[in-house]
Every structure is written in C-alpha cells, then in structure tokens.
Amino acid sequence: MRDVRDRPIGVFDSGLGGLTVVRELVSALPHESILYLGDTARCPYGPREPEEVRRFVLQIGTWLSSHGIKLVVIACNTATASGLALAQRVFDVPVIGVVEPGARAAVQATRNRRVGVIGTVGTIRSGAYSQAVRALDAGVTVFSAPAPKFVDIVEAGLRMDDSALESLMSQTSEVFVRPSFYELARDYLDPLKRAGIDVLVLGCTHFPLLSAAIQQVVGPNVRLISSAAETAREVRETLEARGHAAPESARPRHRFVTTGDPGEFERLGSRILGWPTGPVEAVGVEELERLITPELAALASTRSEGP
Ligand code: DGL
C-alpha cells in the first residue's frame, strides 16, 4: 500500500478563491503534493442554503477520499461554516477549515479587541466567526458584514483583464470598479470602521485578491487578516503530529480539477498562483452527485453546525 506520507493533501473551494490558500500551502509545505478541486460550475456557494452546501462538502470530500488524500482542507469559508463539523465526523482523515485559523490570527492581532469580519451571506449568517473568536477570547467583540458582491467583482475582474494579477487588481480599482467599487466597499465597510475595529478578517478566500483596494477603504490603521497562512501552519502541525508529512526527498505534484471550464481554470488559476497550474482536469457535477449515498444526503439535511 502507498506510504501515507506520499499521498496528496486534498483542497477544495467553490471555484478559484481557494487558490489563495494553495499559494500559502505550497510556500509553507513545499514537499507536499496537492489535489485541488474547484467547484466552479456551482460557484457561488455564498447565497445557498447550508443544507445544500453541506451536500456539496460531502460529495467533494468523498471524491477526494476516493483519490487517496491524507488530509482535507476546506479552502472556502462558506463551506467551512456549513459543513466542517459534519465532514470531520464522516471522513476518516483530518479535515481542516479556514474559519478557526482566521479567527485565531485575528485574536492574536487585535489590540483593542474589536474585530471586523466580512464574508459571504452564508458565512456571516452562520455566526461561525463570532463563535470561533468567542471560543478563543470571550472578551473580543466581533462586528460582521456580508460582502457578497466582492466575490462577483473578483470573478469578473479576473475574466476581464489579461495582465498580471497585481496590476489587474490595481487596474480593477482604478478602471473597472471605480467609482462603484468604492461606493460598494464603503457601504460594506463604513459601519465596521465606525465600530472602531483594528483588524478586519477577510472571511472569504476570494477577498485576498482585493486586499489592496479593501485596505484603501478601511485605511492604514486597520490590519487585514487572511486565514491562508494560519491554515497552512495548522496543516503542517497536523501532518507532523501524525507522522504524515512528506519527506524532503518527495517530488510534489500539484493537480487541479474543476467542475467548470478547464481551459479557463488553467488561465485564471495560473494568474492567482503566480505559476502555471499545468493542464487542468474536468470532473462533472453529475459524477459528484452520484457519489453521495442516501445516508450521507440524510446527514447533510438534518445535521446543523454550531455548538
Ligand atoms: N471562496 C468562498 C468562501 O471563502 C466564497 C465564494 C462563494 O460564494 O462561493 O466563502
């Protein structure tokens, strides 16, 4: 049987946003192989009911497990908020989400113990960040706001411009989104600023791609927190504690699969990562749907997350 240390880490998101987590994973764990599934055909997850998102989590977790992964990273806040606890119960490998690492980084960074969080409607409505922050430090107050249109802006901005990502993002703020981006961002962020936050959690894996523009709106005194680096640290510690980390002699392979258009995923994904994804493979939504047993579907519909 294949040595568990040689197995890939499974990572998934509703689409491209989770690649911001892959970037950190590769930099923190350069010897690890990664199998990434971007569920682009069903993106966005943010407006969907938790039960539906939980079904997606179980389908994709089952697909990844059938490909011999040694650990799963749910690189999507919405899917973490709805489905992390259930996935941890169902799968026999460790499952790590992005909410708790983001909350931990925020609690460590805040000085005035007033923390802002922006995310999708699903993430904010779940209260997952407030719960995670409270579990770490009950004296911290969380001010949260949904910012669903930021997901569309990232997706549209990526598709509109062929220049390098950094210039795309500055160009996005100057040309494509202005003035509407700033109006929208102020609508989302001004109440948090007025609440006196000193850190703002980017509680959606798409949002780090807008961080320059978001920083301009919140101003230099608010520190932006993305959970990617903290998540990568947790993955490393988990693998090391279990003796499952890849050896330095390993030859890592990064494999990308999408339910959407593989050519587009390759083009946009390579720009987010800053290196070529290589050929992207396709998996059909129907194939994922077939994987879920009636027992799992029942669990997805009855199980609610939370304390
Ligand atoms: N990347 C997802 C997250 O972190 C959001 C995108 C979506 O709505 O699907 O929540």
Catalytic center residues: 76, 204
Predicted pLDDT at 1: 55
Residue 173, pLDDT > 90, answer no
Ligand 1 atom nearest 204 alpha carbon: 4
Pocket test of ligand 1: the residue of 21, 37, 42, 43 to mutate, having most ligand atoms within 8 Å of its CB, is: 43
Determine the average pLDDT of the residues in 227-254: 96
Pocket test of ligand 1: the residue of 74, 205, 272 to mutate, having most ligand atoms within 8 Å of its CB, is: 205
Question: In 3D, which of 98, 87, 136, 84 has the Cα closest to residue 115?
Answer: 136
Cβ of 25 closer than 6 Å to ligand 1, yes or no, is no
The Å distance, Cα 247 to ligand 1 centre, comes to 32
Place of tokens 């993002």: 169
Of 176-180, 195-199, 273-277, which has the strongest mean pLDDT? 195-199
The Å distance, Cα 251 to ligand 1 centre, comes to 31
Are 22 and 33 a contacting pair, CB within 8 Å? no
Ligand 1 atom nearest 18 alpha carbon: 1
Ligand 1 atom nearest 45 alpha carbon: 9
Are 103 and 140 a contacting pair, CB within 8 Å? no
Q: Whose CA is nearest to atom 5 of ligand 1?
A: 204
The Å distance, Cα 205 to ligand 1 centre, comes to 6
Tokens of 247: 């050896």
Predicted pLDDT at 180: 73
Ligand 1 atom nearest 203 alpha carbon: 4
Q: What is the DSSP letter of 60?
A: H
Residue 170, pLDDT > 70, answer no
Q: Please count the residues of the chain.
A: 307
Question: In 3D, which of 226, 249, 173 has the Cα closest to residue 165?
Answer: 173
Distance, in Å, from the CA atom of 285 to the CA atom of 80, rounded to the nearest integer, reads 20
Pair type for strands 281-282 and 254-258: parallel
Distance, in Å, from the CA atom of 259 to the CA atom of 243, rounded to the nearest integer, reads 33
User: What is the reported pTM?
Assistant: 0.93
Ligand 1 atom nearest 14 alpha carbon: 9
Q: Kindly report the average pLDDT of the chain as a whole number.
A: 91
Q: Which amino acid appears at position 36 of this protein? A: Y
The Å distance, Cα 292 to ligand 1 centre, comes to 22
Cβ of 206 closer than 6 Å to ligand 1, yes or no, is yes
Question: In 3D, which of 94, 81, 53 has the Cα closest to residue 300?
Answer: 53
The Å distance, Cα 146 to ligand 1 centre, comes to 12
pLDDT band at 178 (very low <50, low <70, confident <90, very high): low
Residue 179, pLDDT > 90, answer no
- Counting DSSP H helices and E strands in the chain, the numbers are 14, 10
Pocket test of ligand 1: the residue of 45, 80, 98, 258 to mutate, having most ligand atoms within 8 Å of its CB, is: 45
Cβ of 17 closer than 6 Å to ligand 1, yes or no, is yes
Cβ of 45 closer than 6 Å to ligand 1, yes or no, is yes
Cβ of 78 closer than 6 Å to ligand 1, yes or no, is yes
Predicted pLDDT at 22: 97
pLDDT band at 152 (very low <50, low <70, confident <90, very high): confident
